[in-house]
């Protein structure tokens, strides 16, 4: 029952969908399965909302993907993006730490939000076909990227969430499980992009915060989602689907 609770808690932790109540430690124990578990649930919701929206509004319905994604997440990752943006634009390390906990949004946060919104809108306006698989790839890969950073990178000073997740996820079998999910759901272009983004965000996290944190992960998931969506929409099916076609 405890394992089931820890698995089910991934849904309520990463989305606004009610599930079971669990401590942060219990959620962190099984967070390595959250990319595929939460990714599948959120991708189904994304696809359903888009399908109905496009039937009613035509191609303009694609625009509703932005509020759908953010509402499902409860705007939690977006909040991390704003905080990280403020920290990114601050030169002093102590001020960066303060910016992460400041309730006010500064120029850095607004700027990074505009980058995200512009990127997401550009991707949506370029989409021509409605397909479930690009949404699944984007949901799984973006969350997998954030969780992998938490697993490998040491937590920044004062980050309770970063410390708990790092302690519970820094295990070779859990990391291997994460990598398997990333490889199976992605394809060659997605995986190459994943490696590039991992190195980029690892560098930014270390250079800016000297470690991982919940805000860093929120920024990673938020910014990488439209990027993975663009790449997936332009490329082939996930690896496991391609393998199925190859065998049968």
Give the number of other CB atoms < 10 A from CB of residue 152.
15
Number of domains observed in the structure of the chain: 1
CA distances from 90 to 78, 137, 156 (A): 19, 33, 16
Q: How far apart are CA 179 and CA 33, in angstroms?
A: 11
Rounded CA separation 12/164 (Å): 18
Q: What per-residue confidence (pLDDT) applies to 126? A: 84
The Cα–Cα gap between 155 and 210 comes to 8
| Dist. CA 25–CA 134, nearest whole Å | 32
Asked if 197 and 142 touch (Cβ cutoff 8 Å), the reply is no
Would you tell me the crossing angle of helices 34-57 and 2-14 to the nearest 10 degrees? 40
Q: What is the dihedral of CA 75, 192, 153, 32, to 10 degrees?
A: 60
Using only C-alpha atoms, the chain has a radius of gyration, in whole angstroms, of: 18
> Along the 248 residues of the chain, how does pLDDT read in single tens digits?
788 888 899 999 999 988 778 888 999 999 999 999 999 999 999 999 999 999 898 888 889 999 999 999 988 888 889 888 888 888 878 877 777 776 667 777 888 899 999 999 999 988 877 789 999 999 999 999 999 999 999 998 888 888 999 999 998 999 999 999 999 888 888 999 999 999 999 999 898 888 898 889 999 999 999 999 999 887 766 766 655 554 54
Q: How many CA atoms lie within 13 A of 59 on its CB side?
A: 8
pTM of the model as a whole? 0.92
pLDDT of residue 19: 77
Distance CA 8, CA 26 (A): 10
Task: Give me the domain span that covers residue 232.
Answer: 2-247
Per DSSP, 248 falls in state: -
Q: What is the pLDDT of residue 236?
A: 64
Amino acid 216: pLDDT: 92
Q: What's the pLDDT score for residue 179?
A: 93
The confidence score (pLDDT) of residue 240 equals 63
């Amino acid at each position: 029952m405890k394992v089931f609770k820890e698995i089910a808690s991934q849904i309520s932790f990463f989305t606004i969908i009610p599930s079971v109540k669990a401590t942060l430690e219990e959620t962190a124990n099984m967070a390595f399965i959250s990319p595929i578990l939460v990714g599948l649930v959120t991708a189904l919701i994304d696809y359903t909302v888009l399908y109905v929206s496009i039937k009613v509004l035509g191609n303009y319905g694609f625009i509703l993907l932005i509020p759908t994604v953010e509402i499902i997440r409860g705007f939690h990752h977006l909040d991390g993006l704003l905080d990280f943006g403020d920290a990114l634009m601050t030169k002093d390390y102590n001020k960066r730490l303060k910016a992460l906990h400041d309730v006010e949004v500064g120029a850095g946060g607004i700027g990074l939000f505009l980058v995200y919104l512009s990127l997401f809108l550009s991707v949506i306006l370029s989409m021509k076909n409605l397909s479930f698989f690009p949404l699944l790839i984007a949901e799984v890969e973006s969350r997998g990227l954030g969780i992998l950073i938490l697993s490998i990178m040491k937590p920044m000073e004062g980050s309770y969430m970063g410390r708990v997740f790092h302690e519970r996820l820094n295990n070779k079998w859990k990391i291997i499980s994460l990598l398997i999910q990333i490889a199976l759901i992605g394809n060659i272009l997605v995986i190459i992009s994943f490696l590039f983004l991992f190195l980029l965000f690892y560098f930014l996290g270390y250079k800016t915060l000297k470690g991982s944190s919940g805000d860093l992960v929120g920024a990673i998931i938020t910014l990488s989602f439209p990027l993975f969506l663009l790449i997936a929409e332009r490329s082939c099916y996930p690896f496991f689907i391609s393998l199925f076609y190859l065998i049968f």
